[in-house]
Amino acid sequence: MNRMQQGKKGEVIVGGHQLELRTVVDDRRSYGDGVAWRRGAMLGKGSSGCVFMATLKKPRSKYSYYPSVMAVKSAEVSDSGSIQKEREVLDKIKGNPYVIRSFGEETTTGENGDMVYNLLLEYGSGGTLAERIKRSGEKGLPELEVRFHTRSLLRGLNHIHMIGYVHCDLKPDNILLLPSSTVGSGVEFRAKIGDFGLAKRAKQSKKRRLEPYWRGTPIYLSPEVVKDGVQEEPSDIWALGCIVLHMLTGEPPWAEDRQLEAKEVLTKIKEGKTPKIPKEIPKVAMDFLKGCFVKNDMYRLTAEMLLNHPFVEGLADDDGDWQFGEVVEDLNAIHSASWVSDDEDSIYSWSDEDDGSYEGEVTWESEENLDETSLELSSEVPSHTSTKTYLVDYTIRAGVV
């Protein structure tokens, strides 16, 4: 067991991890606390900012409608464009128990006097789906659990698509697990779709480009995205198929060669190849995946269609499993400020200063009107444990093929 001791200036040192713990303490102080909540341990750090645990200062106060534990995504106001964009999308698609909830926004003042933008979100106490898959030991999740999570994701996607949005970066890292109180389901957690920083309006017109333009994670991209830059509702369904395949096998799509570079995977997708579906998986699951992996996006099954597939039918219902009523949403107007751009199609970019001690996924980000790209660090939250990162498993916030 590592011995804990006090470092300089009150820094906590445990074994050889003093730098990591010192960074968490410093970051927490530098962002400040909210009016009703206190900032806790850091859950993740990436290009869009940092995510912390947040707890209510006085659970029995007028703010008691907030859950006692939340996640707060924070960045300096000048660098908070993506988080504000996410808040805007969450406001538009709220009202579904399979989409992560926003409890409002607030500005705080850090130790250095900088203004910090904070987005209060549901806390995924079960971590991410990526972490859950990793804990399975690359053997895949139990079929019943896969079916439940798949149905939850379909219900969330169906709602998102009906409202008129496309997620654009659906993957296990962006799916959070929250406790489920459904009796007799045999599944401990409910899957909820999170991280809408790359979401876009469906059928949104763009300026004419000479090259295909898209955002997301290479191994989850569909053929029409890679070939033509068309990123609409069917591309989310393709990504869903990749997630289901990952849950069933314990391996991400295109995992037959873990040394594949992103361009090699994109070439395969562009050539019309689909992720390999092992013959060992149940036939009903294989049929479901075939509906997700239809190469022509015009004929790919929709979320509404797939909800009627035998793979997700006959499960115990959990629609009523929602702990907090809509009254929480009314609190969004309290102590909030907004700097959201009026341009629905804006792509925000920023860069983090990093000392090289943080290990995370690499993010390639470029603005729509720029040719340059910059490497940045990205992590999805909440992040309780490190997960295996394949060479092609990183997010492209907005870029060209």
Domain ranges for the chain:
4-124+325-333, 129-321+362-400
Q: Which CATH class is domain 129-321+362-400?
A: mainly alpha
* Tens digits of pLDDT across the chain (401 residues): 444 444 444 443 434 444 344 344 456 667 999 999 999 999 888 778 899 999 998 877 776 678 889 999 999 999 999 999 999 999 999 999 999 999 999 999 988 899 999 999 999 999 999 999 999 887 899 999 999 999 999 999 999 999 999 999 999 999 999 998 765 667 889 999 999 989 999 987 554 444 455 567 889 999 999 998 889 999 999 999 999 999 999 999 988 766 778 888 888 999 889 999 999 999 999 999 999 999 999 999 999 999 999 999 999 887 654 444 333 443 444 333 333 333 333 322 222 333 333 233 333 333 333 233 332 323 333 334 334 444 445 455 544 33
The pTM (predicted TM-score) of the whole model is 0.74
> Do 238 and 222 meet the contact criterion of CB atoms below 8 Å apart?
yes
Euclidean distance between the first and final Cα of the chain, in Å? 49
| 4-124+325-333 under CATH 3.40.50.410, yes or no | no
**371 tagged catalytic:** no
> Do 241 and 289 meet the contact criterion of CB atoms below 8 Å apart?
yes
Q: How many angstroms from the chain centroid is the CA of residue 224?
A: 22
> Do 104 and 327 meet the contact criterion of CB atoms below 8 Å apart?
no
Nearest one of 42, 239, 30, 250 to 138, comparing CA atoms? 250
E strands, 150-222, where?
A: 165-166, 175-179, 189-193, 200-201, 213-216
- What integer pLDDT is reported at residue 215 of this predicted model? 67
> Do 281 and 191 meet the contact criterion of CB atoms below 8 Å apart?
no
Q: Which tokens in the block code for residue 378? A: 């990205």
**b/e map 367-390, b = 16+ CB within 10 Å:** bbeeeebeebbbbbbbbeeebeeb
Q: What angle do CA 333, 40, 196 make, to 5 degrees?
A: 50
Q: Which residues are annotated as a binding site?
A: 73
What is the spatial distance between Cα 272 and Cα 341, in angstroms, rounded to a whole number? 37
Amino acid sitting at position 244: V
**b/e map 171-202, b = 16+ CB within 10 Å:** bbbbbbbbebebeebebebbbbbbbbbbbbeb
Catalytic residue among 169, 195, 297, 393: 169
What is the spatial distance between Cα 56 and Cα 49, in angstroms, rounded to a whole number? 22
Angle (deg, nearest 10), helices 283-292 and 143-163: 20
What is the spatial distance between Cα 250 and Cα 129, in angstroms, rounded to a whole number? 11
Residue 59: asked if its preceding bond is cis (omega within 30°), the reply is no
